[in-house]
Amino acid sequence: MQIQSPNSISIPLGSQIKKEPSKWWAWSLAIIILLWSLFSALAAAGNYYFANSGFIDDVVSQAKEDIGPYPENGTSFEQNEWNETNDFLNLLDDDLTSIYQPDLQLQFSLIVLLAGFIASFLLFSRDPNGFKAAGVWLGLVAITGTIMQIITLTKMGDFYEEIPGIDSSLMTGIATGFSIGASLTCYLTVFAFIYIAAKRSSDKEENIVESGFHKV
């Protein structure tokens, strides 16, 4: 059955018109991936420069000058305090850079950045493989992030053990729980967005039944 009206096109009742998926699902995901990758790489580059600029050595040297020479004529309390402070500064100078591994962090960030560029390009091009590339990118983020967490938390545990008066197991446990919880929340949120964006951008979305009246 067909219905006609003035200034209208005759279209069978119940005809289905395919709804075009919104491009912004893919584009918004591409923007998120691109910004994430860029800022991660910039942060890693900043850490690398910071670690190799000699800034930490200058700070430790200045701190050692501030505490002055060993108080040979001081009380036992003053001598113990000086020894603890000096040992802490030596430990800080030796272990601070090794805790967050700036060289490895920079290498991982460049790998993630490359994968992010590829995924973003495919998503901006609305290539169906763009969402698969986004999944690969997220996998790289999760793997490299987990490796860095393991290294950092292990180094932090060793660092805390060298500091008198600190329960290293408690501090490491708190840091581990917070780190794992934050990472899982972040990764699952991004994965959910990738999944929803992929479904919304699929050409297999159900067709929408339009009215039989469509004006020119």
Q: How much is the pLDDT for 117?
A: 96
What's the domain range around 127? 22-54+101-200
Q: How much is the pLDDT for 168?
A: 66
Q: How much is the pLDDT for 35?
A: 96
Give the chain's residues under pLDDT 70: 1-19, 91-98, 159-160, 162-168, 203-216
Tell me, yes or no, whether 82 lies in a domain: no
Total domain count, the chain: 1
Residue 172 tokens, joined: 């490491």
Name, in order, each residue with C-beta under 8 angstroms of 22's C-beta and a sequence gap of 6 or more.
200, 201
Q: How much is the pLDDT for 19?
A: 65
Q: How much is the pLDDT for 213?
A: 38
Concatenate the DSSP letters of all residues of 97-139 into one string.
HHHH-HHHHHHHHHHHHHHHHHHHHHHHTT-TTHHHHHHHHHH
Tell me, yes or no, whether 74 lies in a domain: no
Tell me, yes or no, whether 13 lies in a domain: no
Tell me, yes or no, whether 64 lies in a domain: no
pLDDT in tens, 182-211: 888 999 999 999 999 998 887 654 443 443
Tell me, yes or no, whether 94 lies in a domain: no
Tell me, yes or no, whether 10 lies in a domain: no
Q: How much is the pLDDT for 50?
A: 81
Q: How much is the pLDDT for 14?
A: 45
Tell me, yes or no, whether 4 lies in a domain: no
Tell me, yes or no, whether 72 lies in a domain: no
The reported pTM is 0.70
Q: How much is the pLDDT for 167?
A: 67
- Let me know if 127 is exposed, middle or buried by CB neighbors in 10 A (0-12, 13-18, 19+): middle
Q: For residues 199, 201, 207 and 213, what is the CA-based torsion angle, rounded to 10 degrees?
A: 140
Q: How much is the pLDDT for 11?
A: 47
Q: How much is the pLDDT for 91?
A: 67
